[in-house]
Chains A and B, each alone.
Chain A
């Protein structure tokens, strides 16, 4: 807390020092001025004990000065009015800094007047103590009353109260309204739930891709048409088709036993055939490449020809149809969006003149086809 400087006078000052240390009084900076005078300092807490000791044993003790917090305390005691004034000043500073001196309203646009009215209702004014304001309550009230604002924030930073607003976006009334919902694909309306907007189609209607399903408009009680963003769930029956063709003839190759190997020397820039191609009418060929240039890009191509005779074998018609149907279903399923429920499916067959069978698979789904036009 602090310490006092003292001066002790008398005879046998060494005895005085020993008495102090024996009584637990810790002396500091003890300096002997002459044979009868010693100065030093002592902690504020030990001053009373030191005075008592000095008085009882006949030494004269004089306090020369105070230091640290003790000095401050003594100064305050000597200057009560000054201390009281300082306290009042601090209280005033605290009070002034606790008040709201600036009120900012940002982003409110046409709602600024309404916000001022709500602030007045809540007795929020310049000079009001900040800790008396219920900002949460004020914010909730603004959000409840001002439906045209998407977000309201009320914050107090120092002596400044800020009301920040974000206005709700309105739909646009144009030829092709941005607030409309359109069909994402062709289909027949199966069910629809309109939460906002005016429906342009009804259940059972066949719609084309891009057709407006729900208009982003609502008629007010006075006949005025307000633009809004349409919100609806429109489920439609949608059909996905896919074709697959499978040949009804199977070609079988039978080797005749004649073989021929043709070598060709190749580089990245040119090729040189060492043999002519064979004169087989029908053949199978296997090609190998051998790197022969070491570090250089030169390789030898070996074409092994095998003469064959081809026979056409007719396949069972049911087997061909089944194979085509499986392929067509697989292709059709790849077109269906993930998570969509298939409610029906069938396949139609047709024969093409060159002996191939065409299978057309049709998958019927029920799915939400609403989309926002771009």
Chain B
């Protein structure tokens, strides 16, 4: 874990995109209706109101209504619906709130 953290600090210091080197998730939220996620590691839970996806930073939880997996690929997915929140971890950091 320490080694990973050190590598991340080096990458950040060098200004290299983390999603390319470390496989960090890249999340693009288009309004509150479309979410594009790259570098995911699999769907853990999926329902019309909640999607949990495993990423290199842990669990990414998306809460909303009428959520549909428009595209599900090996490393990317596109989620459509009324997205209400996007958070890392079960109750952890919130990276977006609609």
Interface residues of A (CB under 8 A from B): 13-14, 17-18, 20-22, 24, 26-32, 38, 40
Contact = CB atoms under 8 A, between A and B. Distances in A.
B68 A27 contact: no
A45 B74 CA distance: 17
B40 to A, nearest CB: 9
Given A29-B69, A30-B72, A31-B48, 13 more contacts: A13-B46, A14-B43, A14-B45, A18-B42, A21-B72, A24-B74, A26-B71, A27-B69, A27-B71, A28-B72, A31-B69, A32-B47, A40-B72
Contacts of A27: 69, 71-72
Contacts of B46: 13-14, 17, 30, 32, 38
Nearest to A26: B73
Query: Could you tell me the dominant secondary structure of chain B's interface residues?
Result: strand
15 contacts: A14-B43, A14-B46, A17-B69, A18-B42, A18-B43, A26-B73, A27-B71, A28-B70, A28-B72, A30-B46, A30-B69, A30-B70, A31-B48, A31-B68, A32-B47
B56 interface: no
Of A18, A22, A26, most B-chain CB atoms within 10 Å: A18
Given A31-B48, A32-B48, A17 B43 contact: yes
B44 interface: yes
Q: What 5 A-B pairs have minimum CB-CB distances, sorted nearest first?
A: A30-B69, A18-B42, A27-B72, A21-B74, A14-B43
Interface in B26-81: 42-48, 68-74
A22 B69 contact: no
Interface residues of B, number: 14
Contacts of A38: 46
Contacts of A18: 42-43
Contacts of A17: 43, 46, 69, 72
Contacts of A26: 71-73
Contacts of A32: 46-48
Contacts of A28: 70-72
Nearest to B41: A18
Contacts of A22: 42, 74
Nearest to B79: A30
A21 B42 CA distance: 8
A26 B77 CA distance: 10
B35 to A, nearest CB: 14
A202 B39 CA distance: 107
Contacts of B42: 14, 18, 21-22
Contacts of B71: 26-28
B36 to A, nearest CB: 14
A30 B69 CA distance: 5
Contacts of A30: 46, 68-70, 72
Nearest to A14: B43
B65 to A, nearest CB: 13
A21 B73 CA distance: 5
Contacts of A20: 72
A308 B81 CA distance: 121
A17 B70 CA distance: 12
A26 B69 CA distance: 11
B80 to A, nearest CB: 9
Nearest to A30: B69
Nearest to B81: A31
A32 B46 CA distance: 7
Given A21-B74, A22-B74, A24-B74, A40 B44 contact: no
